[in-house]
Amino acid sequence: MAAAAISRVAMAALPEPVTQNSPATMPPLVPNTGRPYNPVVTLNGWTLPWRMNQGVKEFHLVAEPVVREMAPGFKAHLWGYNGQSPGPTIEVVEGDRVRIFVTNKLPEHTSIHWHGQRLPNGMDGVSGLTQPSIKPGKTFVYEFEARRPGTFMYHPHADEMTQMAMGMMGMWVTHPKARHPLIDDVQRDFCFLLSGYDIDPGSYTPKIMTMLDFNIWSWNSRVFPGIDSFNVRLNDKVRFRIGNLTMTNHPIHLHGHEFMVTGTDGGPTPKSARWLEVTTDIAVGQMRQLEFVADEEGDWAMHCHKSHHTMNAMGHNVPTMIGVDHSGLTRKITRLIPDYMVMGERGMADMAEMEMELPVNTAPMMTGQGPFGSVEMGGMFSMVKVRKDQKPGDYSDPGWYAHPPGTIASPIDVANAPPIVAAPVTPAVGESQGSGVEVRVQRPGSHKH
Ligand SMILES: [Cu+2]
């Protein structure tokens, strides 16, 4: 039998599938078998345990319908793996031989494509092209060597539109087997996937035919305020591995620090091709690896910079009402409908503050209580909490940042403020300081000497 062929004996006993029911961020899974590595932390997720079988790392993924809490009070009926959407992160080491059993408990066939991996063609998971689809109730086995270190993804390559719109995806991290010139050691290594859904307020199942108009923009199938913060110690080197399996690009923005993109799904980026940024666009099907030293204390926002992606389910047909005076109309309507309410006359911030009754299963459009009031965010928004006293390896939420006195933007008492001093006059371009000379354009040839 060829070395690359799957051992029929090994297949005889399937490893017990492990299931996770909590959407909480699980602590890193420190390896107790196989080669050592520094594990990642999956945002509002977990790493799949494995068993060693004669030198092969064996995992068991179960494709199945799941109920995912996307935020407190908002549950979605998705499809995922081993109890959650996204599925568990798979962590291996460069050079590991990996065997993954995939059991299909969905009502239709599926397959798994190992996005970004070097592997034998027949292990690539493209239903119909490289393998027959995995029919409901059946188990397939994939086996290959994790040939290069990096961050990868997994997702079905069978009825993709439906299965990815339903949340079937996961991350895969291959750690380097030794010190790698382009892969730095970090103290905190976070990973998560960007995923988008179209779930009407009050309903539970995503609309799978949606092409563009998604209304739920999530990180690992969670939306703010349901997304955990990234809690780190001051001066930690921090890495984010972010994969995009939505249907549009997401410019991911970090406050208070600059980062470098140190890797893509193609592997580590050469040092000469790295530059500092505070926002990096992650296109569909891409992975970006961001690294920075968290050397500024505080609660730093981190979010998608498309402002509609930091909101939860909303009616897209709401007209822009800024500057419209409804007072006369409202009075007339209130006579007929006592609860009538006008929205958006001064902007949409009121939406976050008013206690409007929501349908039973949804998340408010913009919400999240911060220490100073409503954060007016939703969707793809979280925080990096940098603290001096966060213990190494402690990922728990340290609470709100206590700002040193005098370091918070604050209101001033305009009435009792010193008199306004006129700003110094700045000469316009073409004017010399205070001369008041007007510049005239002369037509060529009209010079007189
Ligand atoms: Cu976005």
CA–centroid distance, residue 312 to ligand 1 (Å):
12
Which pLDDT score, from 0 to 100, does residue 248 have? 92
| Structural domain harbouring 249 | 190-309
pLDDT over 70 at 439, yes or no:
no
- Whether residue 343 sits in one domain with residue 284: no
Quick check: 44 pLDDT over 60?
yes
pTM for the model = 0.84
The first and second tokens of residue 278, run together, are 């505070």
Would you say residue 436 has pLDDT above 60? no
Same domain, 40 and 171: yes
Highest mean pLDDT among 142-151, 317-326, 411-420, 432-441: 142-151
47 has a pLDDT exceeding 70: yes
Query: Residue 413: pLDDT above 90?
Result: no
**Does residue 424 lie in a domain region?**
no
Residues 50, 132 within the same domain = yes
Q: How far is the CA of 318 from the centre of ligand 1 (A)?
A: 21
Asked if residue 289 and residue 224 are part of one domain, the reply reads yes
Q: 1 versus 177: which is more confidently predicted?
A: 177
Give SS3 for 258: coil
275's tokens: 């530059």
Beta strand extents in 16-169 (DSSP E only): 41-42, 51-53, 56-71, 74-81, 90-93, 97-104, 113-115, 139-145, 150-155
The per-residue DSSP string of 261-325 comes to EEEETTEEPPGGG--EESEEEE-TT-EEEEEEEE-S-EEEEEEESSGGGGS-S--TTPPP-TT--
Whether the CB-CB separation of 364 and 378 falls below 8 Å is answered with yes
Average pLDDT on 349-366 reads: 65
Euclidean distance between the first and the last CA atom of the chain, given in angstroms as a whole number: 98
In a domain, 395, yes or no: no
pLDDT band at 307 (very low <50, low <70, confident <90, very high): confident
pLDDT above 90: percentage of residues in the chain: 63
Q: How far is the CA of 200 from the centre of ligand 1 (A)?
A: 19
Distance from residue 381's CA to the centre of ligand 1 (Å): 10
CATH at residue 87: 2.60.40.420
Q: How much distance in Å is there from the Cα of 57 to the middle of ligand 1?
A: 35
pLDDT computed for residue 448 by the predictor: 46
What does residue 67 show for φ and ψ, rounded to 5 degrees?
Answer: -105, 115
Res 358 pLDDT > 90: no
Higher pLDDT, 160 or 99: 99
How large is the average pLDDT for residues 12-36? 90
CA distance 155 to 167: 9
- 129 and 227 in a single domain? The answer is no
The rounded Å distance from CA 218 to ligand 1 centre is: 9
**125 and 75 in a common domain:** yes
- What 8-state DSSP symbol labels residue 123? G
Cα(447) to ligand 1 centroid in Å equals: 58
Q: Does 187 have pLDDT greater than 50?
A: yes
Collapsed DSSP state (helix, strand, coil) of residue 151: strand
pLDDT band at 378; cut points 50, 70, 90: confident
How far, in Å, is the centroid of ligand 1 from the Cα of 245? 11
The encoded tokens of residue 381 equal 């928004």
Distance from Cα 91 to the centre of ligand 1, integer Å: 26
Distances (CA, A) of 385 to 123, 216, 299, 318: 41, 24, 5, 35
97 CA to middle of ligand 1, Å?
Answer: 36
Q: Same domain, yes or no, for 168 and 207? A: no
**How far is the centre of ligand 1, averaged over its atoms, from the C-alpha of 214 (Å)?**
11
Is 315 within a domain? no
* Residue 410 Cα to ligand 1 middle (Å): 31
435 within domain boundaries: no
Return residues with CB closer than 5 A to ligand 1 (ion): 250, 304, 306, 309
**What's the domain count of the chain?**
3
State the distance from the centre of ligand 1 to the C-alpha of 246, rounded, in angstroms: 9
Last residue of a domain, one of 309, 331, 354: 309
Q: Beta-carbon neighbour count of residue 51 at 10 Å?
A: 14
Q: What is the mean pLDDT of residues 143-147?
A: 98
Instruction: Indicate whether 153 and 201 sit together in one domain.
Output: no
pLDDT of residue 186: 97
Q: What integer pLDDT is reported at residue 416 of this predicted model?
A: 83
Measured CA to CA, the distance from residue 170 to residue 81 in angstroms comes to: 8
Q: How many angstroms separate the CA atoms of 18 and 89, rounded?
A: 12
Q: Give the dihedral sign, CA 198/222/23/50.
A: positive
Residue 434 covered by a domain: no
What pLDDT does 64 receive?
A: 97
CA of 283 to the centre of ligand 1 (A): 10
Instruction: List Cα–Cα distances, 404 to 167, 399, 401, in angstroms.
Output: 42, 15, 9
Q: How many angstroms separate the alpha carbon of residue 401 from the centre of ligand 1? A: 26
User: 392 with 237: CB under 8 angstroms?
Assistant: no
Whole-number average pLDDT of the chain = 87
Pairing outcome for strands 90-93 and 287-294: unpaired
CB 241 within 8 A of CB 396: no
CA distance 123 to 157: 12
CA-CA distance, 48 to 101, in Å (whole number)? Answer: 12
**Cα(108) to centroid of ligand 1, in Å?**
30
**Beta strand 367-370 pairing with 188-197:** unpaired
List the single range of 6-10, 27-31, 106-110, 380-384 with lowest mean pLDDT: 6-10
CA distance 140 to 370: 47
Q: Would the pLDDT of 399 be above 50?
A: yes
Q: Is residue 152 included in any domain, yes or no?
A: yes
Residue where a domain terminates, one of 124, 153, 183: 183
Residue 243 token pair: 């994969």
DSSP conformation class of 446: -
Q: How many angstroms separate the alpha carbon of residue 253 from the centre of ligand 1?
A: 10
Candidates 90, 384, 92; CA nearest to 237 is: 384
Q: What is the pLDDT of residue 203?
A: 83
Ligand 1 centre distance from Cα of residue 213 (Å): 12
CA 252–ligand 1 middle distance (angstroms): 7
Backbone angles phi, psi at 129, to 5 degrees: -95, -50
Task: Summarize pLDDT for 112-131 with one digit per residue, the tens.
Answer: 999 999 999 999 999 999 99
- The rounded distance, in Å, linking the Cα atoms of 299 and 402 is 9
User: Is the bond leading into 86 cis (omega within 30 degrees of zero)?
Assistant: yes
CA distance 68 to 89: 16
* Cα 305 to ligand 1 centroid, rounded to whole Å: 6
CA 282 to centroid of ligand 1, rounded, Å = 9
**Residue 39: what are its φ and ψ, rounded to 5°?**
-70, 160
What is the Å distance from ligand 1's center to 380 Cα? 7
- What are residue 310's phi and psi, to 5 degrees? -110, 40
User: What separation in Å is there between the alpha carbon of 250 and the centre of ligand 1?
Assistant: 4
What does the alpha-carbon distance between residue 218 and residue 190 come to, in Å, rounded to a whole number? 16
